[in-house]
Structure 1
């Protein structure tokens, strides 16, 4: 069994996430305590809400890191085998690097808190938009290239999530125009309820604002490689990580290619650590025969270890 550890990104949050594992494992509770010390008020928000405040990007990002890392450390404490590789979806790449030992938990929490604040502030409310497109990604790329050539505004590929699910991001009018053009080509384009247009060139102010902090952080030796979103390649040199996390803010999350790379490297068991099952579902669409597990609660952990 060669395990790939997967860590979710925004949208996988829920009130109370990680609390059952924290109650059962002191190492998981220690992560939550460190999260509270690093981002005061975060643990209370994760427990009691209100939900709309937890959903805010600046809160959701460190909360998801805390949850994923607490669950992962409980898994190791219970005797779970060390992964061969890790990957995280967007924000989840920070959790992957904590698991690999590249980043300290405190640094990941501090960086994702600021990352969330900068991403939210990068584009005024109502200016940006994102849509999920169902259909051939080659058609999506073709339509967006035509729009770029015509000077139709910013509309770019933000996420390649599944073989027939692509997320586009950019200026509201351009994303809407792209959606209409894609529907004209027989694809489905569904507007997403998001607070900002993530993973596109409109996030340039956030990239510039976080770059200094990313490059000033300490990056330790990695216990196992992490497949980077923007490369869809396994990275084992910590000196490369800051630039890749920086590029990810404006770059495409190449999740399909990342999962395929993990499979090429020999991974046959994919474990999603943390709240939700988004990544488990995407892996099944990319690799229908893969073994997938979600570990979030003590019962999930018991089931996996059995």
Structure 2
């Protein structure tokens, strides 16, 4: 198998995430210990909530990294496998970099805590909005380009699903125009307009911390959101992560590029199955797995045995 390891972003959180696999697997347990040592109280919040506190961007981001890295380490310890490639959706790019060995987990947790705080503070509450659009992405780009105010494609999630982000009035107007052209536009419940130029203050403020971080060698390439291309150069990581805050998540291109590079199995590590679903929409015949619980890990091992 040529495995592409995938790591989810915001919205995949759930109370209790990661705890079952951490209780059952020493490697996952160590990840939780590292997280608690770095951000005291985080793992208790993940386990017990309250959910509204876990949902806060500044908590959700490091929590998702913790759960994803714990699942990845448990899988690697149990199987001995190493993926050929990795990619993460938005925040998940930090988890992918930890899995590839270029970013230490404590550094990723501190950075994503700061990232979440800065992204939340970049735009006053209610001033921004995001909407999921179903239809031709070329029409989405055209409408955004001709709109007044800030509204941009934020996430190219699937061939006919694009999320737009920006000023609330501009997003509302673009959504109305898209509906008039026969597309569907569904407002999203988000705390800020992510992946658009309104996030520039957050990018500017996080850049010094990103550039001050030490990045090690890559065990395998990580596909960057803003380029949809493989990166193995530690010197590029800080710039790519900075650009990602205001840039589009080019997920469709990323999954297609992984397949073109030889990936034949896609394994999503962490809470939820969002990325597994998106891969199936991009590559309907793709082989996919999700690793979040001990049962998921056992199912993966059983599938490998049956294939052997």
CA distance in 2, matches of 1:194, 1:172: 12
Asked if the contact 1:95/1:108 (under 8 Å) is kept, the reply is yes
Equivalence for 1:283: 279
CA distance in 2, matches of 1:80, 1:182: 48
1:136, distance to aligned residue in structure 2 (A) = 0.3
Q: What do residues 191-219 of structure 1 show as CA deviations (whole Å, max 9, x unaligned)?
A: 00000000000000100010000000000
1:30, distance to aligned residue in structure 2 (A) = 1.0
Asked if the contact 1:13/1:60 (under 8 Å) is kept, the reply is yes
Asked if the contact 1:111/1:213 (under 8 Å) is kept, the reply is yes
- After TM superposition, the score normalised by the length of structure 1 is 0.98
Equivalence for 2:306: none
Equivalence for 1:163: 159
- Secondary structure, aligned partner of 2:123: coil
CA distance in 1, matches of 2:143, 2:119: 26
CA distance in 2, matches of 1:270, 1:15: 25
Equivalence for 2:135: 135
Equivalence for 2:259: 263
CA distance in 1, matches of 2:280, 2:47: 31
Q: What do residues 81-140 of structure 1 show as CA deviations (whole Å, max 9, x unaligned)?
A: 100000000000000000000100000000000000000000000000000000000000
Between 162-171 and 20-29, the greater mean CA deviation after superposition: 20-29
Equivalence for 1:192: 188
Q: Describe how 1:1-306 pairs up with structure 2 within 5 A.
A: 1-147=1-147, 152-306=148-302
1:178, distance to aligned residue in structure 2 (A) = 0.2
- Secondary structure, aligned partner of 2:214: coil
CA distance in 2, matches of 1:80, 1:141: 43
Asked if the contact 1:80/1:305 (under 8 Å) is kept, the reply is no
- Secondary structure, aligned partner of 1:142: helix
CA distance in 2, matches of 1:18, 1:41: 15
Query: How many correspondences in the alignment?
Result: 302
Equivalence for 2:305: none
1:79, distance to aligned residue in structure 2 (A) = 1.6
Q: What do residues 13-40 of structure 1 show as CA deviations (whole Å, max 9, x unaligned)?
A: 0000001100001111111111111111
- Secondary structure, aligned partner of 1:78: helix
Q: Which runs of 5+ in 1 are unaligned?
A: none
1:80, distance to aligned residue in structure 2 (A) = 4.2
- Root mean square deviation, CA, Å: 0.5
CA distance in 1, matches of 2:51, 2:178: 34
CA distance in 1, matches of 2:266, 2:105: 23
